[in-house]
Structure 1
Amino acid sequence: MADTENKTKKGDKDDKEVDDRTLRQKIMSEVKFFAGLAVFLLVFWTTIFGHYKIPSESMQPTLEVGDHLYVSKFAYGYSRHSLPLGLHKLPFLPERGKIFSRLPKRGDVVVFRNPITKIVMIKRAVGLPGDKVAVKAGRLYVNGEMVEREIIDQLKYREHKKNKKSKKVPDINDVTVYEEQFEGEKKPHIIYEEYDNPGYGVANSYDETTVPPDTIFFMGDNRDNSRDSRFLAHESLKSDSGPGFVPLDHLIGRADLIMFSFKRCKKEPGLYCPKRRYLSPIR
């Protein structure tokens, strides 16, 4: 009788141990599944879409410092520069080339990697391969035609404080606000212009240049405060940090949406301070 009871207890204990092992196996299986799914979704999401934060004022007023953007990486195809998490640095990846390559449209706001400094930048596509681009007294010309624009406002804003430790108060910029529209662009976009005189250097006086094959000419919307394709495209400016003509395989994606903005300028009398933006389409 005692032996029977012992055997029953031992059997119950064995069954409990089996149940515990089965439960642990099920839990581990679930954990592995969800961990694998999370990794897959992370890689998928960062490969198809991108999230970027605006650090400078070169694309004002379209994009403000602190804006967080949704970027469509499949808009122009894929190259090593489309890869997330620094994977573009892997040595075995081809340096040049792109699959499913498509051209931007004039007026697209594009994220790309500066071919000289390797820094990720964002600007507006102005010239496509074969286009002739020039800037005369601050006015943009594409293929010999002056790009249409209309003055809509004049305002002042305080520059973003780049160095938080600095005690220097950032300068105030006085700008003219224009609506500008490229041929074929559905809606105009907004730009800032601080100076229109030719004496302000290459930003306002850029000799007509033909955009080479498989490259794009970019400009910032804050025209006199942007390091873009106007810089480095001239032989005398090779030491500058501008991207010059940007190869198509250095394009990362099209900026489609401002998801949210954390940075907030301080309101001051007489100075423009934009509102926070949430889920705002970019144009």
Structure 2
Amino acid sequence: RREWSFTLPAIVHAGTLWLMTLLVASELDWQIALGIIGETGLGRGSWNEIAWGLVPAAMLAAVGAWRTWPVTSHAQAYRGLAGSGLAVYLVLWVVLVNLVSSGDPWPLPYLPLLNPLDVAIGLVLLVLARDLLAYRELRPAVPHLWPIAGAVLFLWLNAILARSLHHYAGLPLDLPAMVQSTLAQATFSIAWTVTGLVLMVAASRLRQRLLWMVAAGLLVVVVVKLFLIDLSGRDTLERIVSFVGVGLLLLLAGYLSPMPPAEDKPTGEDAA
């Protein structure tokens, strides 16, 4: 059970766990700099960034699974205050590394989704999902957190695409370069359309009208992007692939995923 307490003992226990997490992550960061990266590879690789995500995630998972003292005796401090703080930090970590990290797996080759950074992000998200669903009193809040979860996953998808373009196509990992690249814009347009198509099909099957409208909104954004950004590109091949690919996917979306019917509101007679 997760309850929050802001008494002095609870703050001391939570602060101790946070400090322990900070020390372990710092030590692992330092050991990585000495061992894995070393002097010749100083500054390369995303291993240090991974340490600052996996250590707090391990602490959060341990707090949820711990069944003895001191967690059981001070549940409000560890599972409430400390656990919530770690969860908020991990969400911010996922957002930050997706915005700024190149995901360089040096000395390993880069593989989309199978590189160390993306594997670490996936593990962190699994820990967060498990932590949220493990407490019955938090389950009513799950529907309200879907927009945040969707935004984080969408950011992760775009970061994977950007990092892949950076490692395989040699594009600089910054926003102006991605906007000016016809290849990048075609890639994002097709990926967003596929995402919208998957969401629309799922919404139709689950009869989730709001989710269907969100997916349709994403497809509208793609169409606007095609005319405002993709058309300005100089490479004809990428533009053709982008327009044809998006057009075919839009036709497929219209065929496979009709809008779910609106929920019937109970009338006065039904309520009676």
Q: TM-score range by the shorter chain?
A: under 0.3
User: Which has more radius of gyration?
Assistant: 1
Richer in strand (by share):
1
TM value normalised by structure 1: 0.23
TM value normalised by structure 2: 0.24
Q: Which has the higher contact order (CA 8 A, sep 6+)?
A: 1
